[in-house]
A = this chain, B = another copy of it.
């Protein structure tokens, strides 16, 4: 079979499996998830060996240390993977949940219930944990899954997919429910994203160019994890200690991820007090600072920001800083330059906070908390399928509910339309 035929046949097998999988009970699904977790723990030696082949190749290809870190699997990370499957098993099953029920004047009674989407295709890069996390979430939400990881992690992904599928099938998962795309040829992606009628949803996770390619070329609906150009606004009435703590955390705790802060906005009434303290901390941590003229006038070590800085997602130890004269100016700046991901305000003034939370247009808005908290794990969803910056179907971190559709179930007593 050529690549196209292979993908079509995998998609067909997944579709067939999805119909049986949709009918599994929560108990059956949870037993399968726990068996997958157990199998991972038992196979950790094999997984680490297969992972070492990818690491070796990455080192030979002189990939960055950060990338190699993202690729690496060790005992601790395997424990985290199996723990996340156990967590997903412990979560409420979304399938069959009645979202609402009512009896309209027509006399019929209506229930709106959650049902699986069917088949979900995940196209991802680097981190092999996505293989396990997404298979677990898809399974619990009653969906078959097609996994297409990046070439840099092919050995690790293959090993993980094989181990979890074997355990799952031995414990009653309908054969075909977990499909792993073995080829690393790009053509496989191009075929996957056009399997209308067989695949119900494509979730891309990775570099922006990859996501852009998929959005442009897919005919299957796409739920994408967009870029994160996140802001923190320190209002005039902020607690100084809290502002320093949160602004430092939002930038430095893990600068390479989508919910890290890229631009700090500071009210002019607090800038002279806050910036010297905060910028010293940033400088000590090695953050490069780029500011507006007022920021530079307060802390001369700050470089002058170019206009393009306000629209740049650094994903690095770089921060742009702008002094603003009001909450309104902060909101306008965010709605103009933000990517609608995660936005925070630090203030002790409730009215100012409420205005900000209401008027900033983003998937998650934070009052007196770090944007880094926008995460499925932190939010209590077990793991996450990514963070959607689109407005349709799912917005923000995506858990089990976001992998479902709905169905109206109507009970009557002979009612007709008149």
**Which residues of A are interface residues toward B (Cβ below 8 A)?**
19, 23, 102, 104-106, 108, 110, 115, 117-118, 200-201, 221, 223, 239, 241-242, 245-246, 249-250, 253-254, 335, 357-359, 361-370, 372-375, 378-380, 390-393, 395-397, 405-418
Contact = CB atoms under 8 A, between A and B. Distances in A.
Contacts of A363: 407-408
A282 B417 CA distance: 17
23 contacts: A104-B380, A106-B378, A108-B369, A108-B378, A115-B361, A200-B391, A223-B392, A241-B414, A245-B414, A245-B416, A246-B416, A254-B417, A364-B409, A366-B412, A367-B412, A369-B415, A370-B417, A375-B417, A378-B417, A379-B408, A391-B405, A396-B406, A396-B407
A380 B112 CA distance: 13
Given A201-B392, A358-B23, A392-B221, A374 B408 contact: yes
Contacts of A413: 368-369
A411 B102 CA distance: 33
Nearest to A223: B392
Closest 8 CB pairs of A and B: A369-B412, A372-B417, A249-B416, A391-B405, A364-B408, A104-B380, A393-B393, A242-B414
A395 B407 contact: yes
A76 to B, nearest CB: 16
Contacts of A365: 407-410
A406 B370 CA distance: 20
A368 B221 contact: no
B249 A417 contact: yes
A409 B369 CA distance: 11
A104 to B, nearest CB: 4
Nearest to A380: B104
A397 B201 CA distance: 21
Given A201-B392, A221-B390, A364-B407, 10 more contacts: A105-B380, A200-B391, A242-B414, A253-B416, A362-B407, A364-B410, A366-B410, A367-B409, A367-B410, A369-B414
Number of copies: 2
Nearest to A404: B391
Contacts of A104: 378-380
Contact of A406 (B19, B395, B411): B395
A398 B391 CA distance: 16
A244 to B, nearest CB: 10
Contacts of A115: 361
A357 B239 CA distance: 56
Contacts of A102: 380
Contacts of A418: 253
Contacts of A254: 417
B379 A416 contact: no
Contacts of A366: 108, 410, 412
A375 B417 CA distance: 10
Contacts of A239: 414
Contacts of A245: 414, 416
Contacts of A406: 395-396
Given A396-B408, A409-B365, A417 B253 contact: yes
Given A118-B391, A359-B23, A392-B393, A370 B415 contact: yes
Contacts of A408: 363-365, 374, 379, 396-397
A249 B417 CA distance: 7
A101 to B, nearest CB: 12
